[in-house]
Amino acid sequence: MSSKLRLQILREVALLSDNFQSEAENLGSRAAKSLTDSKRSQITGLESLANSALRATDVFDFIKLRIARQEAWRGDNWGAHLLEFICDNLREQRTQICSRLQIQSPSLEAQEVYLMLIREFVRQFAAHYEYALKYPNSKLGGNHDSAR
């Protein structure tokens, strides 16, 4: 992949990432209520896997296994919603980016776009999970534009 294309992809992912902040907050809060602090390693494990995965299916499989094995991932159905968002919404956003940048799909470049979107979403989700653990009654979300 050329460095010019990589920069274009990074820019597109960064622009789209603000669009899924509210979903990351919602799922992070729901995860914090279900998992509590004692299962924190499951979220850090997801984050670590997302950052090192070479295939999106590795992330899907991790989430599916947690849903199947851990009652807390099924509570409030947040685990299924997380999987659905990553599989459906982020895949659609990948298609939009690839279309705008004229990237063929399937291709290594399209897969890289998808992994970048997954990593960004999981990063936001994990950050809000951590925040919601420490401040469970906070009404603050990620949009602080109104405070400026």
User: What is the number of domains present in the chain?
Assistant: 1
**Residue 85: domain span:** 3-135
Domain for residue 145, yes or no?
Answer: no
Q: Which residues of the chain have pLDDT under 70?
A: 139-148
Identify which of 51, 48, 85, 45 has the alpha carbon closest to the alpha carbon of residue 65: 45
Provide the pLDDT for residue 52: 97
Domain for residue 144, yes or no?
Answer: no
Q: What is the pTM of this model?
A: 0.89
Provide the pLDDT for residue 138: 74
Domain for residue 141, yes or no?
Answer: no
Domain for residue 99, yes or no?
Answer: yes
Q: Who's near 133: CB < 8 A, 6+ residues apart?
A: 32, 36, 37, 40
Task: Report the C-alpha gap between 60 and 109 in whole angstroms.
Answer: 19
Domain for residue 146, yes or no?
Answer: no
Task: Report the C-alpha gap between 69 and 7 in whole angstroms.
Answer: 39
Tell me which DSSP letter residue 85 carries: I
Provide the pLDDT for residue 75: 87
Provide the pLDDT for residue 144: 38
